[in-house]
Amino acid sequence: MVEQRERRSGRFFGRRVNCEHVPLLPSWAVAKMLDDPRKIPYLLIWKSEHDGEIKEAVRIAPHYETPGLGGLDWTGAVEIKRHDGTRNFIRTLLRPLPRNRGSVRLLICPYCNTGRRALYGWQPGGQYTSSSVTCPWQCRSCAGLRYASEGEALVFRSRWAFARLIEGQFGCRSPRPESWLPCVFTSPEEAASSGLITLR
Ligand SMILES: [Zn+2]
């Protein structure tokens, strides 16, 4: 209920959080884990480029069945467990690519039931209009996140030729935020050897 209120307030009171500023869980990382013949959990760590701190860490593992949830197809489902012990179960689906180029695994957003290439575990909330709080993993639009370019597209289009000219003249580019991707590890030991975490 609190979540619902937060979400609504995000829409109505001008909160604005760009998806590039919150950790992104990519479907390729989940696919890699599910396709790993060892059937082992993976560790995903998101480190902030600004202060070097770890802002999010999850353990993803294959999930086979949940008692009492009969009727749902849990083939290819995953458990996403946060550092604080909270868990989400996310179903996945394999979507065939055109021209027999294989298939891509998508994560099914539990709120809109749509296959997505990425989920987010943060939504607008907290002290500032641009601050975010953790939430269950869901797609960008269900989490109420925006792309940094939204609302600025018109300006960029009309100034595009000029921007390109400036870029050519001075070699500078307008900064375009990129997705905040995790480091993917197949064991805590591997993460420790990278220097990201220390094992107790
Ligand atoms: Zn959704």
pTM to 2 decimals?
0.77
**What pLDDT digit, counting tens, does each position of 96-155 carry?**
999 988 999 999 999 999 999 999 999 999 888 888 999 999 999 999 999 887 655 444
Distance between CA atoms of residues 90 and 74, nearest Å: 9
DSSP label at 3?
H
pLDDT of the residue at 67: 61
Cα(7) to centroid(ligand 1), Å: 13
Tell me what the pLDDT averaged over the chain comes to: 81
Spacing of C-alpha 72 from chain mean position:
24
Mean pLDDT of 19-34: 95
| 140 C-alpha to ligand 1 centroid (Å) | 7
Distance of CA 113 from the midpoint of ligand 1 (Å): 6
Residue among 27, 28, 63, 29 nearest 44 (CA): 29
Q: Encoding tokens for residue 27? A: 């479907």
Could you tell me the distance, in angstroms and rounded to a whole number, from the CA of residue 111 to the centre of ligand 1? Answer: 5
In angstroms, rounded to a whole number, what is the distance separating the alpha carbons of residues 64 and 75? Answer: 7
